[in-house]
Amino acid sequence: MSRPEAQMLISPACRDALQLWLQGLRALDGAAANTISAYQGDLSSFLAFMTRHNGAPQGLGALARITTSDMRSWMAQERNSGAGARSLARKLSAVKSFYRWLAEREGFEPTAVLAARAPKFQKKLPRPLDKDAARAVIETVELQSGTDWIAARDVAVVTLLYGCGLRISEALSLTGKAAPLPASLRILGKGGKERLVPVIEAAREAVQRYLDLSPYPKESDGPLFRGLRGGALNPRQIQGAMAQARAQLGLPASATPHALRHSFATHLLEAGGDLRAIQELLGHASLSTTQTYTAVDTAHLMAIYNRSHPKA
């Protein structure tokens, strides 16, 4: 069901409550635009299901009386529609978050919703590139364009992703006033979380080479990385350059721009980096998110052990 169709099945009172909740997430919690959009879709789908399930648009009073059976029916419908365990867990998390806010506002106990258990799933481990592959990707990206300044631009972006652990959205949000790059960058990440990221010399040199070749003048308030016609660079351009590079190098589909950020963290950990320091560099709100890289590092060590130890 499309989002507009779902909206038509939601009562005005519920639509208003949903918008108030989303506004609060945006204003008070600094939730990213993509997070807001995902939550809106998840909740619209949930509320539309409750309308169909009960045969009439559900007002706030009806939402307060939701039962365990209702929650089971919704979760079963989601699974039958093809939602995987991970996707359903995310949707349930959004519904619980909304209900906590609604229950406090309307004064009811959201026990049936909060007691619903998400399906268990195996967390996906990050899939970094090894050091040689990461270097090869950067070298190969430079060969993807016949235009010197575009090739230099793409190299500068992927060098920032791997050398500084930036998300692609963070790299492309940099403005002209960031250049020439200082010894450390102040990055505004997810949820408005700010962090300082050291900038390696290779990244400074790559960005400066791009600026020297770029046909567009640097503007303090304009985008640092520009597209062919001078506008802000679209992430799809970097994703395309990475796709071409991995095809030439025979790398798996997991070798994406974000994999370079994974590689940054994993290679720091392999070199003895402190987990708390890596958490700060990546801008993770929770240490548990960063700890997934220890599992990658352990898997890497076991693979070496199995290949080389005489008793393996």
Coil, helix or strand at residue 212 = helix
Per annotation, catalytic residue among 53, 79, 209, 258: 258
Reply yes or no on whether 86 is catalytic: no
Interhelix angle 287-308/257-270, rounded to 10 degrees, is 70
Q: Which of 167, 195, 262, 267 is catalytic?
A: 167
Catalytic residue status for 105: no
C-alpha torsion sign, points 87, 88, 90, 95: positive
Residue 284 annotated in active site: yes
Q: Which of 91, 261, 262, 267 is catalytic?
A: 261
Quick check: helix, strand or coil at residue 151? helix
Selecting among 39, 162, 210, 293, the annotated active-site residue is 293
DSSP 62-87: HHHT--HHHHHHHHHHHHHTT--HHH
Residue 37's alpha-carbon distances to 51, 94, 235, in angstroms, are 21, 11, 19
Q: Is 261 among the catalytic positions?
A: yes
Tokens standing for 245?
Answer: 């590079």
Of the listed 190, 209, 218, 300, which one is catalytic? 190
Distance, in Å, from the CA atom of 216 to the CA atom of 227, rounded to the nearest integer, reads 10
Hey, CA dihedral for 267, 272, 277, 279, is it positive or negative? positive
Report residue 268 as tokens: 């720091």
Q: Which two tokens stand for residue 246?
A: 């991995």
Positions marked catalytic = 167, 190, 258, 261, 284, 293
